[in-house]
Chains A and B, each alone.
Chain A
């Protein structure tokens, strides 16, 4: 199959199974793009995740554009991005045209109660995989634990703090440590 066609179809499949925000989809993308098709490495997947989190827009779109561009330049990026959005476009368009009371259809509501549980597990799976492969230096472990604790607090207490603020702090802390270490090395040389 030509690569452009494959990108489009693969991301359409990924789009069809993306439920409840982008995080669950990270497991699906890792499974398909890293483990099955070897389009990107695990390190690249980690980079995409960070870039997707620190840039605006749906994570699904960010990932599709990245992988699409890498495998097929501009046409690849366009087709992968269109592919990931197509299933939801068709489904929502159909709902808006024909289906009043979509959520009142009981079997769909029941299926979704199950899917929500799977989504939680997939998000956890994505996080565990990344923890296994990350560099475990004290600073990194500290940032991970602190971010986890802060986000849990924000969620539980329903605070209006954006996760962007947490990320910004982590980035600043890391750069500060880098500068301090650089300063120390210079002193050592002098």
Chain B
């Protein structure tokens, strides 16, 4: 039965996808291909679509596969299933959090994890910015992308330094979308 398959398959994805969406993509691939929900080409296309639409990539993929295989109900089941493990785990941690955070070993673990997570995020940001500025298929540096990156970085960080309520992150995304349409569309 497709609904049960979707439920179990996406519970599995939600439960084992550690470390953000990009780390989870191989796992999603395995589950989706093993169930023959999409073929390889369609899956790659949908990963690209998920990356260019708002929302967590895992939620996007679950909604798409669910709707494709089981209509509206399938979409609801797959999306709920992919979110449920994270939801329950955080709820569980929140309920235990107060006593948990006082434990000296938990504190020592956190002292190590915090700088590590910052390092991971910093590396992801730097790598993404470098990747944006380099056209891999043609092995050349994308000057337009470098100029846009510098331009909007100056506007974003500059406005936040200059006035207390500078450009918000959401404002930055809107600005970048407009710049993208204007520059690449011409």
Residues of A within 8 A of B (CB): 13, 15-24, 26-28, 31, 46-47, 49-51, 53-62, 65-66, 69-70, 74, 77, 81, 84-85, 87-89, 91-93, 95-97, 102-103, 106-127, 130-131, 134-135, 139-141, 143-148, 150-152, 155-156, 162-164, 166-167, 170-175, 177-178
Given A107-B185, A124-B125, A171-B113, is A115 in contact with B57 using a C-beta cutoff of 8 Å?
A: no
A167 to B20, CA, bound (A): 13
Scan residues 112-129 of chain B and give those whose CB is less than 8 A from a CB of chain A.
112-129
Who on chain A is nearest to B80 by CB?
A85
Tell me if B173 and A151 are in contact (CB < 8 A): no
Given A89-B59, A140-B111, A170-B112, is A151 in contact with B125 using a C-beta cutoff of 8 Å?
A: no
Contacts of A69 in B (CB 8 A): 90-91, 94
Tell me if A55 and B125 are in contact (CB < 8 A): no
B23, B51, B75, B180: which has the most chain A beta carbons within 10 Å?
B180
Tell me if A117 and B79 are in contact (CB < 8 A): no
Given A47-B110, A88-B53, is A152 in contact with B170 using a C-beta cutoff of 8 Å?
A: no
A115 to B181, CA, bound (A): 10
A151 to B45, CA, bound (A): 26
Tell me if A23 and B63 are in contact (CB < 8 A): no
Who on chain A is nearest to B164 by CB?
A35
Contacts of A87 in B (CB 8 A): 54-55
Rounded to whole Å, the gap between the CB of A112 and the closest CB of chain B is 4
Scan residues 142-186 of chain B and give those whose CB is less than 8 A from a CB of chain A.
145, 148-149, 152-153, 156-157, 168-170, 172-173, 175-181, 183-185
Interface hit among B1-9, B10-18, B29-37: B10-18
The binding surface of chain B is classed by DSSP as helix
Contacts of A57 in B (CB 8 A): 14-15, 17, 58, 82-83, 85-87, 89
Tell me if A121 and B119 are in contact (CB < 8 A): no
Tell me if A85 and B56 are in contact (CB < 8 A): yes
B68, B108, B149: which has the most chain A beta carbons within 10 Å?
B108
Tell me if A163 and B51 are in contact (CB < 8 A): no
A150 to B124, CA, bound (A): 11
**Partner among B117, B157, B177, B178 whose Cβ is within 8 Å of the Cβ of A53:** B117
Tell me if B123 and A20 are in contact (CB < 8 A): no
Tell me if A143 and B115 are in contact (CB < 8 A): yes
Contacts of B99 in A (CB 8 A): none
